[in-house]
Structure 1
């Protein structure tokens, strides 16, 4: 369809009027401070599906004031203040809302950032590469922490605790493959921590904690913690206490002892000058009325399924008159 010169001129005129209107309502680069709206509070931290509200005010009268929000109720208090509120905040408000004013100077905007948080539905801790049964000392295992339905992930830290002491933690300032879901909503997070089993881990309790660090929250958000995973570690004996070298008078009683720490509990065997002593299978050795033949080197050996350890002690028998 062809247009004559008059029609083209009419269209251009309408376009000019429309662009002029857009320019009139655009944000003024030099918005006067007196006309810039202020919002209280300046930042909202709100639990998902919880209520939220803020008030927008100006120091001077303006032609128009309003809130720009995808949800919620707006209530004008007077010519210079207006309240925005929502009874149940949803993820769609995660980018915040805006309050604006229109005047001869143009349009002034003030942004209200909103952080929506959600505490986890659950936090669990589990050893994922253990076929079952006790762990073996020196072997590496993986403890997996799963955090279900938490937000915002950028403020989340997953912490591994051993007997209430922090041993490792990881944060999620960047979205990663261990996060399942939309970054702007609640997500599921899997954190893995390597553990090299040691004697100190035997009977120790491990657990995971999910921590949301929200600086502008009215009150700190309590950590969400998992069940306690108690470990059993098998380890070879370590000698704890040994009598040491002794001198005993002939005819006196001889008592020697050694004690080892091990899991499973060790068995003991005593030797005298390299020869095993029959029926001496406890961690103590007692001989009554010893003579010169009882002197020499005694050896205590503690043994379990993981290994053994020995300790030697020298007994000197003092003959009366010598």
Structure 2
């Protein structure tokens, strides 16, 4: 074995020792073993060929083995506190690798105990130290200590100590005890953290240390205690106090009388005493405490204070009297104004009201204070002819704002008297309460918001003033359309137009105006809610606060000359403080159709026709859409045109038709003889006869008086001029006279 060890050292020095990827596996990979217990660990190699393997250890080492692939490190009783076995394997090329085995040897402590730094009781507020001693434990590095106050963990700590052998360890806990720590148990607990592979043993606790804490006396109810007794009663005073050590008691009266000094806390006075104050003192070595007992004859009922009714401008006095021993103190609670004065008299108090007004209406409370106990009585004052008003003022007085906007409203006093008498103020908004005078409206999203300012005043009590809030929302859209009809309208026929205003609020402030072209229409219609926001309910417009759809309907009847008339509707929220811009619909252009109208001025009812002379009849008609025109006769002849040529007598009807209706016009054609040719012939014949007669007589006359006979044979031109001579007066052209 030593030869192998020497070879191992040589390999280390030559750098041929392999430490990474060593083909060795330890089972288990680490061990936790109690001192003196047996232990064994197997070392296995995955190599098929190797020179040898074995364990190097101060106890349980083995020689190098060649034939087997597993060697075991085993110790029957491990009594070495610090040991580190090494499993090695020498491979075929004489390169050696190794695996270290982590071994933890532990020992449970012999004792765990607590010791105080000082013996005896502790004083509350003092600084002390508790020590936890742990005897003979190993290893210390695996130790953790926990301190307990009853079942409560108050501190945990460990030690950084690498010593493997058993050690004695002490842990200190500084404490400052209080009154509540008296009787509490303190313990320390030891736990060995030996890891997952180690044994899981139950922690060891010390014996409990019972704390004894001294503290000064204190009374469960330290406030003065009032005993209402008759003069001849013998009072019993319970003066019990809590303290450690047990306190002793001493009772002293306000007159200096010492009743008793004893350890009992209950005093029964041996004889009746005059009412007064008693001081009970409880004391021990830590301190003392005193409680006051007030023995008194309490005030009797308040007398002479009654409800009072005054006339406006009149005066009155309220009286308040009561008996007690010692004498009580009187004061008044009321709405304080300048015309009220309070005076005091023996056994009572007087309140004077001068020239009463509406501010004097309210409750007047007389309070009789005796030691720490009060009695009171209330009288109601009314003023005839005056009305009580809540003296608060809201700014602004009314609010109109867009839904989702942001603003604040303040509730304050309306007068200086109100400021002096106000006790508190808050807002009630729906079911929610907003404390203080200011209310931020943007936090509220209820359309039907009901808000009121509520204030409390002396004498008046709680009164309120409602605040009106109007949220508005302009319409998402304003639409105009005709109802129950599409396409063009027929002239002189009544139709309905509807304006839809979508998602607008509040509807009770909405007005709708109708315009025809640029003129305000005569019919402005009426509003109605087209969609109720509440299911199964009919909505009245005055009750709706949230956005709804609203419609307005008007009746229209157009003339034929109103073709392409433009209609529009305009929605306006008529609000007091803010008026948003009007919301307008688009223009609705209306087409007007009307039945045909035949132009009778160009088409008479009766037309004559002459034989051989045809007559053209022209039928013209106005209508929208443009009418179709045709002629038909009683004989069943039909002409699809507005122009008709007739040559004979008969009755013809012009029919003008469009989608609206039709119109007809009847023409009677009358046949007449044509005498014009006869007359013309007669006139022509007469003219011809006259012409012939005239020509005859003229020819006779011409021959007898004027006519000459000339021969044109061989004429010669006169060189003077070229004119032809007539009747021999001018004869430039020579002629031969025949006769």
TM-score normalized by structure 2?
0.36
CA distance in 1, matches of 2:197, 2:216: 50
Please say which of residues 272-281 and 118-127 is displaced more in the overlay: 272-281
**CA distance 1:187–1:26, shift in 2 (3 Å):** farther
**CA distance 1:102–1:283, shift in 2 (3 Å):** same
CA contact (8 A) 1:241 1:259 kept: no
Q: Deviations over 1:266-321 (max 9, x none)?
A: 01122332634413743234469978x32x43322111122101122434423666
Aligned position for 2:92:
104
The answer to whether 1:64 aligns with 2:52 is yes
- What secondary structure, in the 3-state scheme, does the structure 2 residue paired with 1:279 have? strand
**CA distance 1:253–1:147, shift in 2 (3 Å):** same
Aligned position for 1:224:
204
Aligned position for 1:267:
248
CA contact (8 A) 1:140 1:195 kept: yes
Structure 1 or 2, whichever has the larger Rg, is 2
RMSD after superposition = 3.4
CA distance in 1, matches of 2:8, 2:134: 52
Aligned position for 1:196:
176
CA distance in 1, matches of 2:151, 2:283: 33
CA distance in 1, matches of 2:30, 2:141: 17
Aligned position for 1:178:
none
Q: Deviations over 1:143-196 (max 9, x none)?
A: 222211111111112333333433334321146xxxxxxx12111112233233
Aligned position for 1:258:
239
CA distance in 2, matches of 1:213, 1:21: 39
CA distance in 2, matches of 1:164, 1:174: 29
CA distance in 2, matches of 1:122, 1:170: 18
Written as runs of structure 1 = structure 2, the 5 A alignment for 1:300-319 is 300-318=280-298
Could you tell me which runs of 5 or more consecutive residues in structure 1 were left unpaired when the two chains were aligned. Answer: 1-16, 176-182
CA distance in 2, matches of 1:22, 1:173: 33
**CA distance 1:275–1:269, shift in 2 (3 Å):** same
- What secondary structure, in the 3-state scheme, does the structure 1 residue paired with 2:58 have? coil
Q: Deviations over 1:61-98 (max 9, x none)?
A: 2332211211126598x722222221212235x34212
- What secondary structure, in the 3-state scheme, does the structure 2 residue paired with 1:28 have? coil
The answer to whether 1:146 aligns with 2:126 is no
Number of matched pairs: 291
CA distance in 2, matches of 1:264, 1:287: 26
Q: Deviations over 1:85-112 (max 9, x none)?
A: 21212235x3421211111362121111
- What secondary structure, in the 3-state scheme, does the structure 2 residue paired with 1:154 have? helix
**Structure 1 residue 119, shift from structure 2 partner:** 0.8
Please say which of residues 208-217 and 148-157 is displaced more in the overlay: 208-217
- What secondary structure, in the 3-state scheme, does the structure 2 residue paired with 1:159 have? strand
Aligned position for 1:185:
165
Written as runs of structure 1 = structure 2, the 5 A alignment for 1:30-109 is 31=20, 33=21, 35-61=22-48, 62-72=50-60, 79-92=68-81, 94-104=82-92, 106-109=95-98
CA contact (8 A) 1:91 1:184 kept: no
Aligned position for 2:215:
235
**CA distance 1:279–1:263, shift in 2 (3 Å):** same
Q: Deviations over 1:2-47 (max 9, x none)?
A: xxxxxxxxxxxxxxx9997666794225x5x4x5211122121111
CA contact (8 A) 1:241 1:258 kept: no
> Looking at both structures, which has the greater relative contact order when contacts are Cα pairs under 8 Å and sequence separation is at least 6?
1
CA distance in 1, matches of 2:300, 2:40: 97
Within the candidate set 149, 170, 182, 2:157 is matched to 170
CA distance in 2, matches of 1:100, 1:18: 9
CA contact (8 A) 1:123 1:148 kept: yes
CA distance in 1, matches of 2:214, 2:220: 17
CA contact (8 A) 1:248 1:254 kept: no
CA contact (8 A) 1:242 1:258 kept: no
- What secondary structure, in the 3-state scheme, does the structure 1 residue paired with 2:55 have? strand
**CA distance 1:257–1:87, shift in 2 (3 Å):** same
**Structure 1 residue 120, shift from structure 2 partner:** 0.7
CA distance in 1, matches of 2:42, 2:87: 9
TM-score normalized by structure 1?
0.76
- What secondary structure, in the 3-state scheme, does the structure 1 residue paired with 2:74 have? strand
Aligned position for 2:413:
none
Aligned position for 1:157:
144
**Structure 1 residue 53, shift from structure 2 partner:** 1.6
**Structure 1 residue 207, shift from structure 2 partner:** 3.1
- What secondary structure, in the 3-state scheme, does the structure 2 residue paired with 1:278 have? strand
Please say which of residues 264-273 and 156-165 is displaced more in the overlay: 156-165
Could you tell me which runs of 5 or more consecutive residues in structure 2 were left unpaired when the two chains were aligned. Answer: 1-6, 302-322, 324-739
Aligned position for 1:179:
none
- What secondary structure, in the 3-state scheme, does the structure 1 residue paired with 2:228 have? strand
CA distance in 1, matches of 2:292, 2:268: 16
